[in-house]
A and B are shown apart, each in its own frame.
Chain A
Amino acid sequence: MSIDLKQSYFELFGLPVQYVLDDNALAAAFRKLQTEHHPDRFASGTDEAKRIAQQVTSFINTAQETLQSPRLRARYLLSLNGVDFDDERDTTSDMSFLMSQMERREALEQVAQASDPLDAIDELSRDVKKENFELQQSFAEAFEAGQFDEAKQIVLKLKFFERLMGEIKQQEERLEDDAI
């Protein structure tokens, strides 16, 4: 019993090819597939069976992570529609967006001076998450409307948010360490 490693991640989980994701349906399909294919199920099987189980579960795990991540899911949808990405070169040229990203970064640098840095960073984090979420919604609209160029620009912006949120997380951990 194996699965087709060429099928799309959406087909794998039996989900509609769209940006809006049913988290519960994905989780349920993921666990069902894992339960069937996990190498633990083949602990007393042949090496061949174990190797296939390893390959299949890796595919399932990658598919799950891609669809679970709002940015990777968006990117994946575009790539299914023939839109290519060049990670080295592609970047957004929206100046007002870049300005607002810089402002967010400055705000992040300043949280350490706030009277309660952890509260300050929580607030910043909430704002950033909200903006990021709005951006995801605009992706969904652009994608559904077939405006792939516009949609690609949004994906590039989502990458900025991902980095920013990563930095917020790092800063948060540093602040926590200072508090310990």
Chain B
Amino acid sequence: MALLQISEPGMSTAPHEHRLAVGIDLGTTNSLVASVRSGEASTLADEQGDHLLPSVVRYLEDGGVVVGTEAKKALGSDLENTIASAKRLLGRAVSEIKTLAGQLPYRFDESEGNVPQIETRAGKVTAIEVSSEILKALKDRAESTLGGELVGTVITVPAYFDDAQRQATKDAARLAGLNVYRLLNEPTAAAVAYGLDQQADADNKIIAIYDLGGGTFDVSLLKLNRGVFEVMSTGGDSALGGDDFDHVIAEWLLAQSGQQSTDDAHVLRAAMIEARRAKEALSDAESVDVCLGEWTGSLAVAEFNALAEPLVKKTLLVCRRAVRDAGVEKEQIADVVMVGGSTRVPYVRQRVGEFFDKPPLVDIDPDKVVAIGAAIQADLLAGNKPDSDMLLLDVTPLSLGLETYGGLVEKIIPRNTTIPITRAQEFTTFKNSQTAMTVHVLQGERETVEESRSLAKFALRGIPPMVAGAARIKVTFQVDADGLLSVFAEEESTGIKTSVEVKPSYGLSDGEIESMIRSSMDNAKQDVSMRRLREQLVEADRSLEALDSAMAKDADELLNETEKQALLDAREALVKARESDDADVVKSAIKHMEKTAETYVARRMDSNIQAAMSGHNITEFES
């Protein structure tokens, strides 16, 4: 198949000309832009020589907008008009922001549709618009440094960003006037920066990316093979980062100086500043002199390591899980790449090295490594390296499933399945003459509907009346390469179909995915008891249904009034027990009803046995 090459106006197609393309690391705290120049990828600095652009945007009174360090300075004085961490809001709905709003200093306009808007003096702005200001600033920096217009960019996103978040990132880029070649996963970019895909032994090579930023921790396992990247698993903690190291040192300083119970903001602030200084100094010193107010002392590396240990251990447990999610053993991991400023802490490097049993890769500046990888990919997609065939295969970040009888979730596509994927499952009717079935599509790791995220709900109607269990309803899930889900339902004997494209206008955030996965673990016990209850409820319904349908047929012939009444009483007791939320109560009521029905069942069998036997070979009854 011939691919059409579509050139944009003003875009040069001269083969020998180097086309200007950049990689952008759009971060929660800081953003960077990098480009390949004379075969070398490097980040671009602003006029002051700074490479990191703080991801902060301030809307001024005169209608102007400032981005970066200047805007960051106003975080203390003009909070409402100065937006930081917009990345956390990208691709989220108003309803999702509400829970977060208490922690964020912004005023949200909740009236409009799904996209949350922050009220500033410049009017209402969305996270997409804020992000586009950051991208514009980086675009301007790149064009003035490189001396020409950019033809394309590669922007990095966390590996677990869902479709809505990716879409929002793309929208921000479009708004900034950037042509996006591709969104690239951050861990993949880091691997590309180290050229791990280019090595001779790169067949089936597994690498781990350990990314400890200021406020977030992520780990990803990738598999590389001849230029193909495969995300095997991801994991993380959206509330763990370098700032926590500062906190533990600050607490130690306060304790040592006898001020542990102070709530003096100035002292706390001074402790945090001193803590950060001490942490950085300890990167290449055995101990550092510290002071807090009148108090002076010294912090030794061993002491700091002991303080940091619980934090580091947490990250390693997340690594352990990611390794298992990938279905590999630690020994199979060939390389560990360190990303994020907090991986400069020697103790972090040491413990990560011990965990994976190999020294981690630290040669490239951990703040810049993602942007550098993005720049290399951008250069390639711009056509500056026509011989490469790099391809990234992606996976689903969360499990996708359906509601089944009793409020349980049946997983159709488990998390970490390679996409695109199509998967079908057959369901059947639960009741006699059931003519419609609701298809409720859910996302998440939990076992019950209430605790999963509802993506869509639609009905398959017109199922011909049949006895329970006779209809064959095939539900097909299709996830495309961009992570978009479509669901189809079809009754196979009649061919009646219905379908829906599940395209949420917002997505789950990194934090939500993390907390959904986490709470699925925390509540696993509760799930099990809930599941038991639900199973008993389903069982109860089945028994009631069976009894009712049998009694409607031949109760009058086979039972006398007393027997019939006893059975109806047992039935009533079960209906009552069903209302309790105790699996054992329901179970014993089912038992009681079944026991009461024993004589009835025996008589039914007697009266039916002849008809039943007529269709069977006698040997079937011998065993």
Q: Given the interface contacts A1-B1, A173-B521, does A31 sit within 8 Å of B225 by beta carbon?
A: yes
Does A177 lie within 8 Å of B480, measured CB to CB?
no
Q: Is B320 an interface residue (CB 8 A)?
A: yes
B392 cross-chain contacts in A, Cβ below 8 A: 40
Does B423 lie within 8 Å of A62, measured CB to CB?
yes
Q: Given the interface contacts A1-B1, A34-B391, A54-B480, does A44 sit within 8 Å of B518 by beta carbon?
A: no
A27 cross-chain contacts in B, Cβ below 8 A: 204, 225
Of B204, B419, B421, B524, which is within 8 A of A170 by CB? B524
| Interface residue ranges of A57-106 to B (CB < 8 Å) | 57-59, 61-62, 64-65
Q: Is A145 an interface residue (CB 8 A)?
A: no
| Interface of chain B: mostly helix, strand, loop or mixed | mixed
The residue in chain A whose Cβ has the minimal distance to the Cβ of B528 is A170
Does B314 lie within 8 Å of A38, measured CB to CB?
no
Q: Is A147 an interface residue (CB 8 A)?
A: no
| Interface residue ranges of A163-180 to B (CB < 8 Å) | 169-170, 172-174, 176-177, 179-180
Does A177 lie within 8 Å of B3, measured CB to CB?
no
A174 cross-chain contacts in B, Cβ below 8 A: 521, 524-525
Chain B CB within 10 A, most for which of A28, A54, A169: A54
Does A35 lie within 8 Å of B204, measured CB to CB?
no
Q: Given the interface contacts A39-B420, A58-B420, does A177 sit within 8 Å of B226 by beta carbon?
A: no
A177 cross-chain contacts in B, Cβ below 8 A: 518, 521-522
The residue in chain B whose Cβ has the minimal distance to the Cβ of A49 is B1
Chain B CB within 10 A, most for which of A172, A173, A180: A173
Does A45 lie within 8 Å of B204, measured CB to CB?
no
Of B225, B317, B389, which is within 8 A of A179 by CB? B317
Chain B 209-246, CB-CB to A under 8 Å as 1, else 0, gives 00000000000000001111000000000000000000
Does A34 lie within 8 Å of B228, measured CB to CB?
yes
Q: Given the interface contacts A38-B393, A169-B324, does A44 sit within 8 Å of B5 by beta carbon?
A: yes
Q: Is B4 an interface residue (CB 8 A)?
A: yes
Q: Is A24 an interface residue (CB 8 A)?
A: yes
**Cβ of B500 to closest chain A Cβ, rounded Å:** 17
| Interface residue ranges of A10-67 to B (CB < 8 Å) | 24, 27-28, 31, 34-35, 38-42, 44-45, 49, 53-55, 57-59, 61-62, 64-65
Does A54 lie within 8 Å of B317, measured CB to CB?
no
B422 cross-chain contacts in A, Cβ below 8 A: 55, 58-59, 62
Chain B 99-136, CB-CB to A under 8 Å as 1, else 0, gives 00000000000000000000000000000000000000
A176 cross-chain contacts in B, Cβ below 8 A: 317, 320-321, 521
Does B225 lie within 8 Å of A57, measured CB to CB?
no
Please report the C-alpha to C-alpha distance between residue A54 and residue B479 in the assembled complex, in whole angstroms: 9
Q: Is B481 an interface residue (CB 8 A)?
A: yes
Does B420 lie within 8 Å of A61, measured CB to CB?
yes
Does A35 lie within 8 Å of B391, measured CB to CB?
yes
| Interface residue ranges of B307-339 to A (CB < 8 Å) | 313-314, 317, 320-321, 324
Of A31, A38, A169, which is within 8 A of B481 by CB? A38
Does A61 lie within 8 Å of B320, measured CB to CB?
no
Does A57 lie within 8 Å of B391, measured CB to CB?
no
Interface size class of B (residues with CB under 8 A): 35 or more
Does B418 lie within 8 Å of A61, measured CB to CB?
yes
Please report the C-alpha to C-alpha distance between residue A14 and residue B203 in the assembled complex, in whole angstroms: 19
Does B324 lie within 8 Å of A65, measured CB to CB?
no
Q: In the complex, how many residues of chain A place their beta carbon closer than 8 angstroms to a beta carbon of chain B? A: 34
Q: Given the interface contacts A38-B481, A45-B3, does A173 sit within 8 Å of B421 by beta carbon?
A: no
**Cβ of B246 to closest chain A Cβ, rounded Å:** 21
Does A39 lie within 8 Å of B4, measured CB to CB?
no
B265 cross-chain contacts in A, Cβ below 8 A: none
The residue in chain B whose Cβ has the minimal distance to the Cβ of A1 is B1
B525 cross-chain contacts in A, Cβ below 8 A: 174
A173 cross-chain contacts in B, Cβ below 8 A: 321, 521, 524
**Cβ of B472 to closest chain A Cβ, rounded Å:** 12
B521 cross-chain contacts in A, Cβ below 8 A: 173-174, 176-177
Chain A CB within 10 A, most for which of B1, B6, B389: B1
**Cβ of B419 to closest chain A Cβ, rounded Å:** 7
**Cβ of B380 to closest chain A Cβ, rounded Å:** 13
Of B1, B320, B478, B518, which is within 8 A of A58 by CB? B478
Does A44 lie within 8 Å of B4, measured CB to CB?
yes
Q: Is B515 an interface residue (CB 8 A)?
A: no
Please report the C-alpha to C-alpha distance between residue A34 and residue B394 in the assembled complex, in whole angstroms: 12
Q: Given the interface contacts A45-B1, A58-B478, does A180 sit within 8 Å of B314 by beta carbon?
A: yes
The residue in chain B whose Cβ has the minimal distance to the Cβ of A179 is B317
Q: Is B417 an interface residue (CB 8 A)?
A: yes
The residue in chain A whose Cβ has the minimal distance to the Cβ of B524 is A174
Of A44, A61, A169, A179, which is within 8 A of B421 by CB? A61
Q: Given the interface contacts A57-B481, A62-B423, A174-B524, does A44 sit within 8 Å of B228 by beta carbon?
A: no
Please report the C-alpha to C-alpha distance between residue A173 and residue B314 in the assembled complex, in whole angstroms: 13
The residue in chain A whose Cβ has the minimal distance to the Cβ of B310 is A180
Please report the C-alpha to C-alpha distance between residue A82 and residue B481 in the assembled complex, in whole angstroms: 34
The residue in chain B whose Cβ has the minimal distance to the Cβ of A58 is B422
Of B203, B228, B480, B522, which is within 8 A of A35 by CB? B228
Top 6 closest pairs, chain A to chain B, by CB: A58-B422, A39-B481, A31-B228, A177-B521, A57-B420, A173-B521
11 A-B pairs (CB sep. < 8 Å): A24-B204, A31-B225, A31-B226, A35-B391, A38-B481, A44-B5, A58-B422, A64-B418, A174-B524, A176-B320, A179-B317
Residues of B within 8 A of A (CB): 1, 3-6, 203-204, 225-228, 313-314, 317, 320-321, 324, 389, 391-393, 417-423, 478, 480-481, 518, 521-522, 524-525
**18 other A-B residue contacts (CB within 8 Å) besides A34-B391, A44-B5, A53-B481:** A1-B1, A34-B393, A38-B481, A40-B392, A40-B481, A42-B3, A49-B1, A54-B481, A55-B422, A57-B420, A57-B481, A61-B419, A61-B421, A174-B524, A174-B525, A176-B317, A176-B321, A176-B521
Residues of A within 8 A of B (CB): 1, 24, 27-28, 31, 34-35, 38-42, 44-45, 49, 53-55, 57-59, 61-62, 64-65, 169-170, 172-174, 176-177, 179-180
